[in-house]
Amino acid sequence: MYPGDVRVFAVNPGSTSTKLALLQVDNEAIFILEEKVLHNSPVPSIAEDLEKRRPDVMSQASAWAPFEAIAARGGLLGPVPAGVYVVDEEMVRICLESPHGAHPANLAAVLAFELARSHGVPAFVVDPPTVDELEAVSRISGAPGITRRSRVHALNLRYTARKVAAEVGEDFENVPLIGAHLGGGTSVVRFACGRMVDTNDALLGEGPFSPNRAGTVPVYGVINKTAREGRETARNFFGRESGFLGLLGTDDLRRVERNLDDPEVRLITDAYALQVAKYMLGLAAGGRPRAFFLTGAGARFVYAVQQITNRLNWVAPVHIHAGEFEMQALASGVKRVLSGREAPKKIGEVLDGSAGL
């Protein structure tokens, strides 16, 4: 057990960069001691990507050693409960074979496994993006054979939800909350008993539009677009070329905010705020929240946040935590395990059901 300070090396691969950080966790206080972003160009396969990123990550870890643990961003591990997972050979296999989808985040566990062996410390993944704790009633759609699923910014949302619970003087496991991560995708979650019991599919499914994703759109439009231009073209259109980018020609919300004097820009921004608020209020049908919260880089968009808040605060107070706290969330999860406050899970046991979850 580690009741005192813990130093954690965090690795977070994205599409064109790898974020690294050395963090110190002292009780609930988290300090970033070192940070570095390694930039890279996209490559066609996970194996090639791994070879390209490995040397710099290993070198940086050696430069920042010693540390007590490795924390890795979760990849596409399949639908799993929230929590802290041991990085082991089974997780590495899943990440490399990518049966649930190939994404640069899959490299995190692979790199963490190698770092753990090199430095003789444990490695963990915290709240991967495929956390799925939907209640049975929330899985049902109106189409036979098509169920709703959860793919959201689980890591940042759960970390922020814990902070908001503390702000309202409640235990995270007991307080009902509704939060939205406003980022490249827009994730909206209802928390009950510490679980994400209702969400949207922020990757390519439903919910409010975002900087470049369409969110929920009329079904006939999806059918017509796919029929005319093919599945892959339609997928790119709805998943990468829509939202603010498709409507205004930019996915940079800072640029949008600077041009609010333009009536069209303001109209699209008002529509965005309305959609976020509508989805959050829709989740409140499952239970009135003690508080709402907004997080993610988009929560720095002052005008949009004001419009969202004005539509929500008649139901419950709105807490703003602008920015992304993924590295802090990773370190916090690892500290909970090392201090004995949370038992780590093993991916193999969860996926085959033997963990009893």
CATH code for the domain in which residue 41 is found = 3.30.420.40
Residues of 192-203 as b/e, b for ≥16 C-beta within 10 angstroms?
bebbbbbbbbbb
Q: Could you tell me the CA-to-CA distances from 146 to 44, 235, 313 in Å, in that order?
A: 30, 17, 34
Within a domain: 19: yes
Within a domain: 161: no
Do 228 and 333 share a structural domain?
A: no
Do 277 and 335 share a structural domain?
A: no
Structure tokens at 88: 């082991």
Q: Could you tell me the CA-to-CA distances from 41 to 11, 48, 107 in Å, in that order?
A: 18, 11, 15
Do 188 and 104 share a structural domain?
A: no
Do 312 and 184 share a structural domain?
A: yes
Q: Which amino acid is at 307?
A: Q
Do 225 and 86 share a structural domain?
A: no
Q: Which domain holds residue 70?
A: 6-132+327-351
Q: What's the structural domain count of the chain?
A: 2
Do 180 and 92 share a structural domain?
A: no
Do 173 and 76 share a structural domain?
A: no
Do 289 and 175 share a structural domain?
A: yes
Residue by residue, pLDDT tens for the chain (357 residues) are: 455 689 999 999 987 789 999 999 987 789 999 999 998 877 778 888 899 999 999 999 999 999 999 999 998 898 999 999 999 999 999 999 988 888 888 999 999 999 999 999 999 999 998 899 999 999 999 999 999 989 889 999 999 999 999 999 999 999 999 999 999 899 999 999 999 999 998 888 899 999 999 999 999 999 999 999 999 999 999 999 999 999 999 999 999 999 999 999 999 999 999 999 999 999 999 999 999 999 999 999 999 999 999 999 999 999 999 999 999 999 999 999 999 999 999 999 998 764 433
Q: Which residues are CB-neighbours of 325 under 8 A, at least 6 positions away?
A: 156, 159, 160, 295
